Amino acid sequence: MEGKVALVTGAAGGIGAAIAGELCRRGVSVAAVDCDEDRLAHTVEKLTADGLRAEAFSVDLVGRTQVDSAVAEVEDRLGPLDFLVNCAGVLRTGDVTDLTDQDWDATFAVNATGVFLMSRAVVSRMVPRRRGAIVTVASNAAGTARTQMAAYAASKAAATVFTKCLGLEVARYGIRCNVVAPGSTDTPMLVGMGVDGEAERASIIDGIPEHYKAGIPLRKLALPSDVADAFVFLLSDHASHITLHSLTVDGGATLG
């Protein structure tokens, strides 16, 4: 992967930051994209302090006009993109009867439409070069019903099928498109769901019957690095004959 160029959305923290760091350590120049300028700057500063090649690009994926110009700027500054990681995401929880129109719209704007906009902008540049790899973060909830997560699960299901459809269209150009579907991962998003203490973490691992949620057979939450390793594999030449695939990284929580 040495000398390649990647664009990683949602790079300010959590899984996105872990992916950006792992790619940098493998010699990839990373365009770190996020709408949280302060956290993004902090993440990139840590990477560059270690002598790694990363640059921050403040982009709001909800702003349709920003995406194409951001991709052009990335290629002007870092070179032609070899990899795209769609990792930006938002989570709005609640029973369907309690979800607002704004909750639904905001979730799909980032988790589904944002994936579409960024993928379209990047793949249009990859096609003439006849190379590239795209990996989208989904969720194990995309294929398994979850209470209070209808908007999130539906948006991730949309992103999953979109990425596979895109992969089918661009396979003839040598471009691979895959999906990583994490389960419960130790990130700020999980804390935002109220999982910020040992008791809450234990309940996730043990399962919550009243929510019809199985536990985690491996008896631990994923670390961001666990998920990042799956992304790196699918982007790398080790996965050169893998496309249209969804790799679940959830410790067995959805029972295979």
- DSSP element (H, E) containing 179: strand 175-182
Strand partners, 207: none
Handedness of CA 117, 185, 158, 107 (dihedral sign): negative
CA distance 185 to 220: 9
CA distance 37 to 27: 24
37-47 exposure pattern, b = at least 16 Cβ within 10 A, e = fewer = eebbeebbeeb
The active-site residue out of 57, 83, 108, 152 is 152
Our answer to whether residue 152 is catalytic in this structure is: yes
CA 255, chain centre distance (Å): 22
Task: Identify which of 57, 79, 37, 64 has the alpha carbon closest to the alpha carbon of residue 121.
Answer: 64
Strand partners, 55: 31
Catalytically active residues are 152
